[in-house]
Structure formats: structure tokens, C-alpha cells
Amino acid sequence: MVRDGRIRDGAGAACAVRVQRGRPELALTELSRRAGLPLTTTHRIVGELAGWGALERADDGRYRVGLRLWEVGALAPRGLGLRESAMPFLEDLYAVTKQNVQLAVLDGTEVVYLERLSGRGAVNVITRVGGRLPLHATGVGLVLLAHAGPDLQERVLAGPLRRYTPKTLCAPDELRRTLAEVRRTGVAVSDGQIELIALSVAAPVRGARGEVVAALSVVVPAETSDARAYVPVVRAAARGISRVLGAPDSR
């Protein structure tokens, strides 16, 4: 895959091309530069990928991620599969609260957001479907970490813990106490730990064998005084999804 420190093939190149914010189309030269591959090589690889549909050409000749790739991604059980089961409950939760409703799973040492329903009036937060954030600073992250294996917990607590706001919990012992609290109460409250304007209430979603497979949260404005009032509805929605996942769904 990687040889003498240089990236040599398609998969590696894909790795190297980091997420594009803003205009999501890239020219060939740009791709070549970012991937660190010769222009000719990039041209060939990109051509093959486009032939298969993994990339598409925009009207101006630039390349963008293709619909085929989206389609294949849609087959991921932990992606759209989970989302599919959870959706009715997310809709209900959104209908009741009219706030941001988020569904996320654990991957490596981060959370990946699977879904986000955000009403017009809700707080505008940085999370994005398909986006990643660290475990220690988000409501869903704390829930997932609290129920993860001790090895992962230690790895996260040992690693560098980025401080997003003055309220971000970064001290390992403080985090340990919080995690114990999350396990005890079954919910996590992250108040301004990622963005000062937002507060999230999160609860675990469990799979068929009772293991935590995802986390659900509602994000409300930080100044909400009765944030605890959201705990029952979030918990109920999470339970609802867990029940659906538990039933092996005859189809």
C-alpha cells in the first residue's frame, strides 16, 4: 500500500485526499497534487474510478464523489441499516422537541454521525451527517465511551484531549467520574463542551444482545433552563430503537 514513504495506489490516494470543504469538485491537477501522485498516474486511476461510477465528472470536467459510491455506502449495516430502523423514532423525537436530533455510532476513537434532523428554529451546530468528532467532548461520545471496553476508554483518556471550549472536560479523572455517572443514570449531558451555544442530552441505543451499538441525542440551546426535561423523551426514543433492533425483524 505504502512503499518507501510514498503513496502508490488508488486506495492510498483516496486516503490521502482529505475532505474538501466548500466546493466538492476537484480538477485532475488538484487531485494529483493532493494525492502526491504523478499526473499521468492520477489520470489513469481517476479514469477507472469514473468508469465504474465511484467518481463523476461535473459539467466543467472536474471530478466529484459519484453516486455509485454513495449507493455502496448505503449498504453498510452500521450506516443506513441502523438509520433505517431508527428513523421513525427520530422523527417522533423531532416532532415532540423541534430541536436537533442526532444519531451516532462509535468508530475507532471517534463518533460518526449517521443522521441529523434539524428544524429551521434549532441551534446551528457543527455536526454534519458523515462527520466525525472526538468522544470526550460530545454527548453521544460520552455515552458511547461509557459503555465501551475498558481498553478503549484508557486509550482515549491517555490520548490528547482537545479543548473546544472552556467547558470541555479534559482532565482524565474528571472524565472517569463523568463516565461512571453516565453508566449509572443511563444518559449523558454535554453542556457547552463542544460549542458554548449548545447543550446535548444523549442516551444509549442497544442491539439484540444488549450491547450499546449507537447513541441518540437532542441538542438544545445552552441557555435552556429545564434541559433535564428532555431526559425522559430521549431515553424513551432510545429504548424504542433498542426494542426494534432486539426483535430480529422478520422480513
Which candidate, 131, 68, 117, places its Cα nearest to that of 89? 117
The correct pick among 2, 27, 39, 74 for binding a copy of itself (CB under 8 A) is 74
d(CA 49, CA 137): 37
d(CA 236, CA 132): 25
Burial of 26 (0-12, 13-18, 19+ CB in 10 A): buried
50 belongs to the binding site for a copy of itself (CB under 8 A): no
Shortest Cβ distance from residue 38 to DNA (Å)?
4
Cα torsion at 235, 236, 237, 243 (round to 10°)? 110
Asked if 139 contacts 190 with a C-beta cutoff of 8 angstroms, the reply is: yes
Label the pairing between strands 6-7 and 2-3: antiparallel
The correct pick among 16, 34, 66, 227 for binding a copy of itself (CB under 8 A) is 66
Binding stretches for DNA (CB under 7 A)? 1, 3, 8-10, 27-29, 37-41, 43-45, 47, 61-62
64 belongs to the binding site for a copy of itself (CB under 8 A): yes
Nearer to a copy of itself, 130 or 159 (CB): 130
78 belongs to the binding site for a copy of itself (CB under 8 A): yes
Shortest Cβ distance from residue 251 to DNA (Å)?
25
DSSP code of 197? T
40 binds, among DNA, a copy of itself, none (CB under 5 to 8 A by kind): DNA
33 binds, among a copy of itself, DNA, none (CB under 5 to 8 A by kind): none
The correct pick among 91, 126, 221, 243 for binding a copy of itself (CB under 8 A) is 91
Which candidate, 68, 72, 44, 74, places its Cα nearest to that of 56? 68
DSSP code of 77? I
Of the candidate spans 52-60, 145-153, 212-220, 226-234, the one that interacts with a copy of itself by CB under 8 A turns out to be 52-60
Which candidate, 114, 83, 121, places its Cα nearest to that of 99? 121
What string marks each residue from 222 to 251 as x (binds a copy of itself by CB under 8 A) or -?
A: -----------------------------x
94 binds, among DNA, a copy of itself, none (CB under 5 to 8 A by kind): a copy of itself
d(CA 171, CA 84): 37
Which residues of this protein are in contact with a copy of itself, per CB under 8 A? 1, 11, 14-15, 19-20, 22, 24-25, 48-49, 51-54, 56, 64-81, 84, 87-88, 91, 94-95, 105, 107, 112, 117-120, 129-130, 132, 251
